[in-house]
Amino acid sequence: MTNPASKPPLIPVNAVIFAGFPILALILVPLWGFYQGFSGAQWLWALVFLYLNGLSITAGYHRLWAHNAYDAHPVLKWFFALWGAGALQNSILIWASDHRRHHRHVDDNDRDPYSAGRGLWFSHMGWILRNYPSGDNDFSNARDLQRDPVVMFQHRHYVLLTTIMNLGLPVLLGWWLGDIIGTVLLVGLLRLVVNHHFTFFINSLAHFWGSRPYTEENSARDNPVLAFLTYGEGYHNYHHLFQNDYRNGIRWYHWDPTKWLISGCARVGLASRLQRVPDFRIQRAILDTQFARARRALEAQEANEGLRSVLEREYQLFTESVNQWKALQAERYDRKKSELGDALEARRQQLLDRWEHAALRTRLQELEYSLKMQRKRLGLLLQQVQLTPQPA
């Protein structure tokens, strides 16, 4: 690990962008607003640019390119590549490669580029400002991206593209609105700073603030407040366990505009092969975490043998459900494989096959329901453990 007493040198360009730009925004935007004012149209366009940049990072850089959570039409790829360049968070290739290393080595201070283990400041933006070894480019994990012509075009022409999107477009928009300076300050500068820090919240706050319902193996947390600010990325505990799911917010009421955008694109033919984790695996992860917490709680209550036996019975039921689910998945896989290998099977067998598939689905749904009920029972058990007085 890097010795704190001898920090690597500052990266001048990054220092100007990520430290200088916020200072300029804090000074110039209020001054211009006080002396000249901003129109409603300028504020609206700043919000539009903010969302176009943010969603291009979350739906494009992150879920499409870093995690291959779905396939995108070339039109959608170019859209994300251009507006993602406008977010000024580096090229797709560098961003996605860094993020893949973050997932593979999460919380490893030597190999995670923005490890939360090195502190809130480091994971938020300190890692960007200095030439830390953990941040060195290594594209060995991004061979697929190096074969993508959209990714490589953006990577080669990144400086030109980000200049056009961050300066050229705001200038043109300001000329159209009749206030070039004000538009550049609001739609260009302030929007850029806000977008940076909203994204950085996922690297920093989402590893310190929130709940961990799915796994306690890493520091990532779910936080609905951060989800609102980051276009759905705040359900970070779920994402670190199920990184290839195109959703981060899995419930209908979870604020995840990135998920809705991808789903909407799929409806009009711009996205396909959306990856979705089966609900049983999600329920299993929640129960695994709850069982671990219940065991820790019971360890502090030496005399509570009754609750221990209840917990072990529940765990046995849980293990049986998981084994049944695995067997059903293997059976379904074998059926699909058999069908692919025997395409000329007589039509009279089709009705029987449909019935058997329906039966398999029903049994899987019954197992999913059993896990949900077990979650409720385990929740009541945890409440009872917490209410049980400690031995004197």
pLDDT tens, position by position, 266-297: 999 999 999 998 887 887 888 778 777 777 76
Segment among 46-50, 101-105, 237-241, 320-324 with least mean pLDDT: 320-324
Kindly tell me if the per-residue pLDDT of 199 is higher than 90: yes
Residue 192 backbone phi and psi in degrees, to 5: -65, -45
- Average pLDDT estimate for 164-175: 96
pLDDT for position 348: 41
pLDDT for position 280: 75
pLDDT for position 283: 79
Which has the closest alpha carbon to 291: 377, 390, 207? 377
- Average pLDDT estimate for 182-210: 96
Kindly tell me if the per-residue pLDDT of 303 is higher than 70: no
pLDDT tens by residue, 37-76: 999 999 999 999 999 999 999 999 999 999 999 999 999 9
Which tops the pLDDT comparison, 99 or 333?
99
pLDDT for position 282: 86
Rounded to an integer, what distance in angstroms lies between the CA atom of residue 132 and that of residue 110?
10
- Per-residue pLDDT band at 361 (split at 50, 70, 90): low
pLDDT for position 314: 57
- Per-residue pLDDT band at 205 (split at 50, 70, 90): very high
Residue with tokens 């609206």: 44
Rounded to an integer, what distance in angstroms lies between the CA atom of residue 158 and that of residue 8?
25
- Average pLDDT estimate for 69-94: 97
Rounded to an integer, what distance in angstroms lies between the CA atom of residue 256 and that of residue 273?
19
Segment among 66-75, 95-104, 335-344, 375-384 with least mean pLDDT: 335-344
Residue 58 backbone phi and psi in degrees, to 5: -75, -45
pLDDT for position 340: 47
Q: Under a CB-based contact definition with an 8 Å cutoff, are residues 73 and 269 in contact?
A: yes
- Per-residue pLDDT band at 6 (split at 50, 70, 90): confident
pLDDT for position 2: 47
Question: Which pairs from 284-289 meet CB under 8 Å and 24+ separation?
Answer: 284/322, 284/325, 284/371, 285/214, 285/215, 285/241, 285/242, 286/213, 286/214, 286/375, 287/318, 287/371, 287/374, 287/375, 287/378, 288/215, 289/212, 289/213, 289/214, 289/215, 289/216
- Average pLDDT estimate for 229-245: 95
Which tops the pLDDT comparison, 229 or 392?
229
Segment among 25-29, 255-259, 301-305 with least mean pLDDT: 301-305
Kindly tell me if the per-residue pLDDT of 367 is higher than 80: no
Provide the percentage of residues in the chain whose pLDDT is more than 90: 66
pLDDT for position 389: 47
Rounded to an integer, what distance in angstroms lies between the CA atom of residue 230 and that of residue 256?
9
- Average pLDDT estimate for 169-192: 96
Mean pLDDT, the chain, whole residue set = 84
- Per-residue pLDDT band at 261 (split at 50, 70, 90): very high
In terms of average pLDDT, the best of 51-55, 209-213, 374-378 is 51-55
Kindly tell me if the per-residue pLDDT of 372 is higher than 80: no
